[in-house]
Amino acid sequence: MPVRSSRFVRHGWAGLVASVLSATLLAGAAAAATPPLSGEKAAFPPFDVATFSGQLFWLAITFGALYWLMSTIALPRVGAILEERATTISRDLDNAAQMQAKAEETAQAYESALTEARKNAQAIAQASRDAGAKASDERRHAVEAELSAKLTKAEATIATTKTSAMSNVRGLGSEVAIAIVTKLTGQAPSASEASEAVDQVLARG
Amino acid sequence: MAAGGGIDPIHQFEIKPIVGLRPFGLDLSFTNASLLMVCVVAVVSAIMIYGSSQRSVVPGRLQSLAEMIYEFVASTVTGVMGKEGMTFFPLVFSLFMFVLAGNMLGMIPGSFTVTSHIIVTAAFAFLVIGTVLVYGIVKHGSHFFGLFVPSGVPGWLLPFMVLIEAVSFVSRPISLSLRLFGNMLAGHIALKVFGGFVVALLAAGGAATIIAPLPLLLAVALTALEFLVAFLQAYVFAILTCVYLNDALHPGH
């Protein structure tokens, strides 16, 4: 609806301008209507037809020059500057976003490496602890087995020593009994009688 | 028109030749108006060409100004006509800058306002409408005249609608040129009249001298208003140019 809007704009300004315009136009018309008496004294300057050709001529030259300067030099240059700035800014923003993504990636990788390492360390610690415990257990078992073997050996030695000592004691006892009986009675008993008597005493406790 | 103190508010619009030039009986003299036109081109070129000559990614002051103007006009053009309206960007930009610089240079005391002459504003208006007609007919052929036939109108109303649309189209260059011309002319006359009041009251002496600052205050306020009008009229001219050129780009209703 461009025509509607243009009409709206025109009405808005027409109201403001109308009073001014009617006054100036009337003044101009009046000035133009009264013929210049002296010929030199011109009419209302903006309506002086004699100046139109010169004004149009110089307007065409100057506006043409301005249009040429703007369309070939100024506007492409300023447009290029603005475009370059826009691309520079967007490129920098892209770069920054990429850097940030990279940094985040690195941080994530570091984080995951750290958790991995921690897990590994725990596993290693557990394993070494287990291994240590196992080794010390084994050593203890070995030592215990050795000790118990030595103990049984020692007990056996004691037992044999004890029986041999006990048999020595019996022999010694019967000899002593024979010597005592001989001393008391003057009559030596037979060895079998003496050892029988010792056995009876030993059996009694 | 000679107000008290011999101050003539029309005097400022007079065209005085600087270098006489009369080939083939035509008066093509280089006048004060021509000088101001050359100044307009010089000022606009200084901002846009010299300002952008550094081509720096981080702009300086003048380059910032050039970029700001560029983006302002570009957003106006694309806002009204869309992306394909950038075909007319150099034209709209040149018109806007010529009118704006002409209005602003006219605010310098003692200078001349190029846009306060109807022949200049009319030339711009007919340049715009001529561009609309030529581009529209070359681009769209007879379809361009669909501009005058609004869709969804009952058959018996159509002749009237076409007539109204045609009158509205023909009145465009008139309103476009008169709006700018009238605003600049009236503003400068008002400024001169209030300035003349100050002088007249001071010259009158006595009690009148005491109230002389009142029109001076008003003249100061009017000057500020005129700067606003100088910008606003250039903007209105540019945006209406875009609206009319949009018809050449998209003639369908």
pLDDT in tens, A6-42: 443 444 444 433 444 344 444 444 444 444 444 445 5
The pLDDT value given to residue B111: 87
CB contact under 8 A, B243 and A9: yes
Contact present, A50 and B85 (Cβ < 8 Å): no
Question: For a pLDDT cut of 70, what percent of chain A falls above it?
Answer: 79
Residues of chain B with C-beta less than 8 angstroms from the C-beta of A17:
178-179, 182-183
CB contact under 8 A, A69 and B45: yes
Phi, psi values for residue A35, rounded to 5°: -65, 135
CA distance B207 to chain A (A): 32
pLDDT in tens, B74-84: 999 999 988 88
Contact present, B116 and B11 (Cβ < 8 Å): no
Mean predicted lDDT score pLDDT of chain A: 80
Distance separating alpha carbons of residues B244 and B251, to the nearest angstrom: 10
pLDDT at B105 over 90: yes
Instruction: Give the pLDDT band (50/70/90) at residue B140.
Output: confident
Instruction: Give the pLDDT band (50/70/90) at residue B26.
Output: confident
pLDDT at A188 over 70: yes
Minimum Cα–Cα distance from B62: chain A residue: A78
Average pLDDT over residues A35-56: 69
The pLDDT value given to residue B7: 67
CB contact under 8 A, B28 and A73: no
CA distance A98 to chain B (A): 23
Residues of chain A with C-beta less than 8 angstroms from the C-beta of B40:
62, 66
Report strand pairing: B30-31 vs B17-19. Answer: antiparallel
Torsional sign, CA A127, A128, A129, A133: positive
- Partner residues linked to B7 by β-bridges: B3
Question: For a pLDDT cut of 70, what percent of chain B falls above it?
Answer: 96
Contact present, B21 and B29 (Cβ < 8 Å): yes
B110 or B101, higher pLDDT: B101
ipTM of the complex, rounded to two decimals:
0.88
Instruction: Give the pLDDT band (50/70/90) at residue B68.
Output: very high
Using a CB–CB cutoff of 8 Å, tell me whether A170 touches chain B. no
Q: What is the 3-state secondary structure (H, E, C) of A5-52?
A: HHHHHHHHHHHHHHHHHHHHHHHHHHHHHCCCCCCCCCCCHHHCHHHH
The pLDDT value given to residue B85: 86
pLDDT in tens, A65-89: 999 999 999 999 999 999 999 999 9
The pLDDT value given to residue B236: 95
Burial readout B83-103 (b: 16 or more C-beta within 10 A, e: otherwise)? eebeebbbbbbbbbbbbbbbb
The full DSSP string for chain A is -HHHHHHHHHHHHHHHHHHHHHHHHHHHHHHHHS--SSSSS-S-GGG-GGGHHHHHHHHHHHHHHHHHHIIIIIHHHHHHHHHHHHHHHHHHHHHHHHHHHHHHHHHHHHHHHHHHHHHHHHHHHHHHHHHHHHHHHHHHHHHHHHHHHHHHHHHHHHHHHHHHHHHHHHHHHHHHHHHHHHHHHS-PPPHHHHHHHHHHHHHH-
Mean predicted lDDT score pLDDT of chain B: 87
Residues of chain A with C-beta less than 8 angstroms from the C-beta of B189:
24
Element (H, E) at B31: strand B30-31
Minimum Cα–Cα distance from A26: chain B residue: B182
pLDDT in tens, B109-139: 888 899 999 999 999 999 999 999 999 888 8
Instruction: Give the pLDDT band (50/70/90) at residue A185.
Output: confident
DSSP structural state of residue B3: B
Contact present, B33 and A55 (Cβ < 8 Å): yes
Residues of chain B with C-beta less than 8 angstroms from the C-beta of A65:
41
Burial readout A58-68 (b: 16 or more C-beta within 10 A, e: otherwise)? bbeebbebbbe
pLDDT in tens, A116-159: 999 999 999 999 999 999 999 999 999 999 999 999 999 999 99
The pLDDT value given to residue A17: 37
Question: Which of B83-87, B155-159, B167-171 shows the lowest mean pLDDT across its residues?
Answer: B155-159
pLDDT at A1 over 70: no
Instruction: Give the pLDDT band (50/70/90) at residue B148.
Output: confident
User: Which of residues 15 through 44 in chain A touch B, CB cutoff 8 A?
Assistant: 17, 20-21, 23-25, 42, 44
Of the residues A4, A5, A9, A10, the best mutation for testing chain B's interface (the one with the most B CB atoms within 10 Å of its CB) is A10
